[in-house]
Chain A
Amino acid sequence: MKVAIVKYNAGNIRSVINALKRLGIDPLFTDDADELRSSDRVLFPGQGEAGTTMAYLKTHELDNVIRSLRQPVLGICVGMQLMCRHSEENDTDCLGIFPTEVKRFQPLVHEQKVPQMGWNTIERLQSPLFRNINDGSFVYFVHSFYVPDNEFSIATTDYITPYCSALHKDNFYATQFHPEKSGKIGEQILKNFLEIE
């Protein structure tokens, strides 16, 4: 199976490569449109800031390439946020694959720290992406911005407010959490993604 990871100016994708290698996949790390289009699966991970990453995608014409992909695509963390319509982070227009907003967490009390950093549960799971995963499973999050609940939500998490922690529309999937850092649960989710019909 040919699996590609989108190469752009978002930090630390080493852990995604390592996680795929543990599943027996040696992924391509590329920004080449033909390579991305001809892959069986494309992963779009990322840590970073929406404005500068989105500007980079546009400059390198990766925005149109990602939007036009037909195979299963998985956005992770900032990758998921960039697949939405607009982010409050530096008032950034994003890819618009999911017609949703990305908002900043607004803590209600001092104990609610931003970013959310650590393990939280995913509930109301409804997708082949979560085959063999139980509601209430813990996965690893690091983020300051979130996607509110919406019609494309396939998982919900509660931090400050209940919000959408995974998305699905057509061939596009996305998780706010890091499956590559979520132990055996995350490994199963990545495996499910590789096996999606």
Chain B
Amino acid sequence: MSEKIGIYVCECGPNIASKVDIEKIMDEIAKLEDFKDQELVVKRHKLLCSNEGKEFLEKEINENKLTHLVCAACSPRDHDTTFINVCKKTQLNPYLYRIVNIREHCAWIIPDKEEANRKAIQYIHAGMNRVLYQDSLYEKELDSNPDVLIIGGGIAGIEAALNLAGEKRKVFLIEKEENLGGKAVFLPEQKISDIQKNKNIKVFTKTVLDKLIGFMGNFEIVLKSTEKPDETTELLAGAVVVATGYEFFDSKKLPAFKFEDKDNVIDSLEAERMFSENKKITLKNGKEPKSVTLIHCVGRKEVGFCSKICCDYMLKIANYLKEQSANIKVTHLIKYLNLPYKNSQNFYDKIKEKGVEFIRYSDLSVNGTKVEYTDINNKKDMLESDLVILAPAMIASKDSEELAEMLNIDLHETGYFQEVHQKINPVSSTTDGIFIIGSARGPANIIDAMQQAKAATGKIFTQLIPGEKIIPEVMVSEILEAYCTGCQTCLQVCGYDAIYFDDERGISVVNEAVCRGCGNCVGSCPSGSLRTKHFTNPQLYQEVKEAIR
């Protein structure tokens, strides 16, 4: 089939038309030596992006039976999608079209009309060069499984399970301990019984992940029992939610903290559990304390971040103590107060009215219930009380690293799981289809964890719709098998685990459903056997050789 390229120059009203000589450009383009073997259709239009312009373009593609299309118009940021959508209505494959920006790159920035003309011709010529080397690409549809595996049966995992499970979506909830519930102290019992009653949720306790392969929509999963490691369960799911929670920093690791188990030094979780069970916080001997010191930020410096939720719950503990007996002397040793929750400030004011004291420390040492500290004005002092309650820093749970490896997701430098974008995509991990919620992605209180569970639910609801197929990226890498030497360099640079090594044939293979077309592998391939579709070397070369001439 002979090639017939359509070149359409948009006037963009006066934006392009008044700054370059469109007639001259069209003449020059039509006469290009390089294209004497191709048939060219060169036309202008007042405004290609308008409805009338789009209809014009559609008609032109169909009537002229164009094999390639170049639109010389504005920035692809403005109207690339517009013209792709026009192509989609016609027989022309949208990957055989190219936009050339003669507005921002020529008309608007080059005051000399002759120079602007020359540049515009050069850029259009470059676009024509490239488009001839472009290939048709076709979207593929893949079946997807809407079911979800949730790792971790704490409040975040429970909330995610309850939100996700439905007639058309099964949930597998795995928990390594014997019971669901995790660390949350005041967890509504109702939630656990709701889980047990829900026929679309299958709970596996004393179970951990053993293996996971695949990609969003199609994960193959192996679970194993923590008691009998040979006992495995295989299942399929389309998405994974990681809700493995946190651990406390071990305060005994701090040289300045000397206490033994018999001492009345406890952590905040122990205090909260005690209060939840007995409505009272007591000493080891069962007696009520007359004085309590609450130490904030234990290990904060060592872990390198603020745990966000401790100030808030330490205020709550102070309140329990004051409700238990108004005469208890309660003293907080704080660094800074971090009160990000909107009702915390009022609560703090209320606690202060009850006589709770706050001292800002810069350094301290603990010897049983004796606390020596230096305040922010460098004054040294000592507090001896019946009970010491510590707020240790919250750190990533110790199996995070192994889990990250198994799931092929990144860890943040703090040890928590890393978001794909911490601001605009905060519950998605660095691998598509795997989500991170609750204190597995950073310190979170119950409300935070529940909202994040719902956020992951929202993401899964919109990305894995039961009965709908998924369409993977089209502009992906491919390997020219004959050239691959099997060096496996590409496996190391791929950030998405999209390349695997075929031992039998001794070559690398791209999993197109996982590849995002970043091109890292292409740059790294010493034998030149890799290329990214729609960004091949010949395409780039053809474009660049004209553009920089």
A binds B: no
